Amino acid sequence: MSSPSNDRRIGFIGLGVMGGSLSLNLADNGYQVYAFDLDSKKTEHLINQDALERGDKPQRIFPCTDFKELLEQLPQPRTIILSIPAGAPVDAVCEQLMAAGLNRQDIVVDTGNSLWTDTKEREDRYKEKFNFFSTAVSGGEVGARFGPSLMPSGPKEAWHQLEPIFHAIAAKVDPKTGKPIERFEPGNPVKEGEACATYIGDGGAGHYVKMVHNGIEYADMQLICEAYHLMRSALDMTPAQIADVFRLWDQGPLNSYLIGISAEVLDQVEPENNQPLVDIIVDKAGQKGTGLWTAVSSLQVGAPAPSIAAAVFARGLSSLKDERIEASKVLQGPANKVELEQIEFIGQLEQALYSAKVCAYAQGFHLMDMAAKENGWNLDFAEIAKIWRAGCIIRAGFLQSITEAYQENPDLKNLLVAPYFAEQVNRFQNSWRQIVAKGALVGIPCGAISSALSYYDSYRLEVLPANLLQGQRDFFGAHTFERTDVVGNDKYHVLWSGDRSIVKI
């Protein structure tokens, strides 16, 4: 058996869409994959796909019938990657691998969308048995196949063995431009450029970062949907016309994967009746929970992320389709049609969407910052922004600007106050206000765009009405308040039921 440093055998468990794609990505990058799935048809499909792609080159993916066989094929310390549903299956497979002979130095990598607290707990639980590692993967099927963004975390001592593997299969960025280097060709992986994989930390940090990535993804998608809704309903534009606008925006500051695919979806025609596809898709949003987890965490950590929460609420409201149909018969929108000037409106909408998007990212990064402090993680935000520049769902031109903002000031409190973003948002805010106001006037909900504006206004105002709120709390519950005219954190209370004098507590 050759030594682990030049031995490129890896175990892979779970050969569904993501697992199969990651396996082929590993194979393209020179790894021999020993593969197992409970469903032997999936294994067979992957072996056939490997045969198809490699032509007359040697086999790269090898089927295993059980975990024992899989472990026997691998050099020690072994690397075994899991692509299985999050939750109980991860523990079930870990237990079975231990029973099959896993060693203390072996590494098991969970690539699912696991809840970060589960990952943290697993790192602790298995630390005497084997190295439990994780890497969150973003980029969907195509990303997994040709270069995803990876957010690895776990015991640092396992990282040196995994780093070359993850760097090989990750998406790559041109270091000069910060733009993705993309090539979607089996057998010809991108080897040049900076890899979108960086060690995030231990204690579930990687899955936390991926969770926030998904929270931002929810907000970004909802913002785009609100822009679509405004153009569709307030400007009476067709899906194809809106696709043209999105394509134009994709050339400017809004350049992003999500804007690009939105144009493609809007351009798609349903072949049977020649209708825009979007018109035959039922307007009920699904969700698997990562956006919800982000919103919950933001409430728990005390890092306000209202636009991410608004996006989760919007999905929830959309799913109440039957109730909405009934309500539409009872509740009215604006009585008069509001005339909007199309060119002016679209120009304002671009600036509003961009500003709101900056807020969503600002909320996500602020949340990670506060969670890092609470959990003792040393998160490097410039590095995190860097690995989101390619491969992942929220990849966007402006992640290069976020990278630079954190490189210039690693202690940046909020992206909004980074000089580059502050200048832009200050300049765009009037358009943003116009869009929120016009949205309200025409009766089109834009909860994410408007919550972002409220976030911006709340964050920038020196004085908020929380002074009255503290007064209310003190009135009914003697919850006390601090004084603006006294230095320090001394607490005061008004004897509301007595002579209303102010006492220091």
Minimum CB–partner distance for residue 312 and ligand 6PG (Å) = 9
Minimum CB–partner distance for residue 445 and ligand 6PG (Å) = 19
Whether 373 is a known active-site residue: answer: no
Judge whether 359 and 455 are in contact, CB under 8 Å: yes
Whether 217 is a known active-site residue: answer: yes
Minimum CB–partner distance for residue 286 and ligand 6PG (Å) = 6
Separation CA 392–CA 147 (nearest Å): 9
Residues in 106-125 that interact with ligand 6PG by CB under 6 A? 113
Instruction: At 370, list the tokens.
Output: 């506060």
Separation CA 304–CA 250 (nearest Å): 29
Entry field: residues in the chain: 505
Residues in 172-231 that interact with ligand 6PG by CB under 6 A? 214, 217
Q: What's the Cα-to-Cα distance from 197 to each of 33, 120, 215, rounded to whole Å?
A: 20, 20, 19
Judge whether 133 and 108 are in contact, CB under 8 Å: yes
Q: Which is nearer to ligand 6PG, 291 or 304 (CB)?
A: 291
Minimum CB–partner distance for residue 214 and ligand 6PG (Å) = 5
**What character string, x for contact with ligand 6PG (CB under 6 A) and - otherwise, covers 340-379?**
----------------------------------------
Q: Which is nearer to ligand 6PG, 13 or 292 (CB)?
A: 292
Considering only 32, 233, 287, 319, the residue that binds ligand 6PG (CB under 6 A) is 287
Residues in 27-66 that interact with ligand 6PG by CB under 6 A? none
Instruction: At 104, list the tokens.
Output: 């203390």
**What character string, x for contact with ligand 6PG (CB under 6 A) and - otherwise, covers 290-309?**
xx------------------
Minimum CB–partner distance for residue 393 and ligand 6PG (Å) = 4
How many residues touch ligand 6PG under the rule CB under 6 A: the total is 13
Judge whether 258 and 394 are in contact, CB under 8 Å: yes
Separation CA 198–CA 371 (nearest Å): 19
Residue from 495, 488, 489 nearest 474 by CA:
495
Listed in sequence order, the residues at least 6 apart from 465 whose beta carbon sits closer than 8 Å to its beta carbon are none
Q: Residue 9 is inside which H or E element, if any? A: strand 9-13
Minimum CB–partner distance for residue 143 and ligand 6PG (Å) = 6
Regarding 396 and contact with ligand 6PG (CB under 6 A), the answer is no
From the candidates 42, 120, 172, 210, which is the catalytic residue?
210
Q: Which is nearer to ligand 6PG, 230 or 292 (CB)?
A: 292
Instruction: Give the angle subtended at the CA of 354 by the CAs of 231 and 215, to the nearest 5°.
Output: 100
Instruction: Give the angle subtended at the CA of 305 by the CAs of 303 and 306, to the nearest 5°.
Output: 135
Half-sphere exposure of 263 (CA within 13 A, CB side): 16
Considering only 58, 286, 302, 488, the residue that binds ligand 6PG (CB under 6 A) is 286
**What character string, x for contact with ligand 6PG (CB under 6 A) and - otherwise, covers 124-163?**
--------------xxx-----------------------
Instruction: At 299, list the tokens.
Output: 């409430």
From the candidates 42, 172, 194, 217, which is the catalytic residue?
217
Amino acid occupying residue 364: G
Catalytic residue IDs:
210, 217
What does the binding site for ligand 6PG look like in residue numbers (CB under 6 A)?
Answer: 113, 138-140, 214, 217, 286-288, 290-291, 392-393
